[in-house]
Amino acid sequence: MNILDTLALFMIMITLAAIPSTSVALVVTRSATSGLWHGAAVSVGIVLGDLIFALLAILGLTVLSELMGALFLLIRYAAGVYLIWFGINLIRSRNQTIQLKRSSSTGGLIASFLTGLLVTLGDVKAIFFYASLFPTFLELSNLGYGEIAWVLGVIIVTVGGVKLTYAVLAKKVATIARRFSIAKQAKVASGSLMIGSGTYLIIRS
């Protein structure tokens, strides 16, 4: 990869990561309702999911998405059901004050991490990008180990950076919302968004 290829990949990954999507909504909601650490944990799960798809493409295993179609289908269903459940719980807890904690239990953070990972692995757009566009764009057959590490580094910086930015901004918005007593409306809106996103994932499956 030359400098132009790297810049092109960098810009493409930032643009795709910043576009409002299920993963962005999940990061924002987790950070706003459970704290920044949960938003960060979801972001790590999302990045890991992206790295998995990138590695599959780089290793020439793009056909795996077709051979393991049933597995990806189950992942999408699991992610969809969880998002619906999470959304319902948000709406049901609308009368409770949003508590922003600086630290969280390990179990809770692991759950947030796994949610981000599942949502990413069940994202049709991610599968399409890494299994189709990514190999063509980078000419993967000519990549060396150093270039592979460089590509993965770009993905970590761009996707992780964008998602963490969303998490930080969401926490600030949640703090303001609590001060102005609009937490109830925010929870209902976020919960509805989660339910809609989960339903969309299941229907699209």
Tell me the per-residue pLDDT of 102-126, one tens digit each, with 9 for 90 and over: 445 556 888 889 888 988 887 755 6
9 within a domain of the structure (yes/no)? no
The pLDDT value given to residue 86: 74
Of 167, 132, 200, residue with least CA distance to 35: 167
Please give the model's pTM, rounded to 2 decimal places. Answer: 0.67
pLDDT at 157: 95
Contacts of 93 (CB under 8 A, 6+ apart): 187
Range of the domain at 179: 24-204
Does residue 100 have a pLDDT over 90? no
Q: Per the domain annotation, does 64 fall within a domain?
A: yes
Domain membership flag for residue 18: no
- Asked if the structure places residue 75 within a domain, the reply is yes
Cβ 159 vs Cβ 52: under 8 Å: no
Domain count, the chain: 1
Closest CA to 82 of 133, 35, 22, 39: 22
Give CA–CA dist 137/9, Å, rounded.
9
Give yes or no for a contact between 22 and 119, defined as CB atoms under 8 angstroms apart: yes
CA 63 to CA 12: how far, in whole Å?
A: 23
pLDDT for 62 equals: 46
- With 0-12 / 13-18 / 19 or more C-beta atoms within 10 angstroms meaning exposed / middle / buried, residue 12 is middle
Q: Pseudo-torsion of CA 109, 197, 65, 134, nearest 10°?
A: -90
In angstroms, the CA 143 to CA 1 distance is 8
Of 46-50, 118-122, 150-154, the range with the lowest mean pLDDT is 118-122
Asked if residues 55 and 163 have their Cβ atoms less than 8 Å apart, the reply is no
Domain membership of residue 17 (yes or no) is: no
Statement: residue 189 has pLDDT above 90:
no
**Does 188 reside within a domain?**
yes
Q: Specify the DSSP class assigned to residue 97.
A: P
25 and 197 Cβ atoms separated by less than 8 Å: yes
Percent of the chain with pLDDT strictly greater than 70: 63
pLDDT of residue 128: 63
Residue 98: the pLDDT is: 45
Decide if 33 is inside a domain. yes
The answer to whether residue 57 sits within a structural domain is yes
Across 56-65, 111-120, 123-132, the highest mean pLDDT is recorded for 111-120
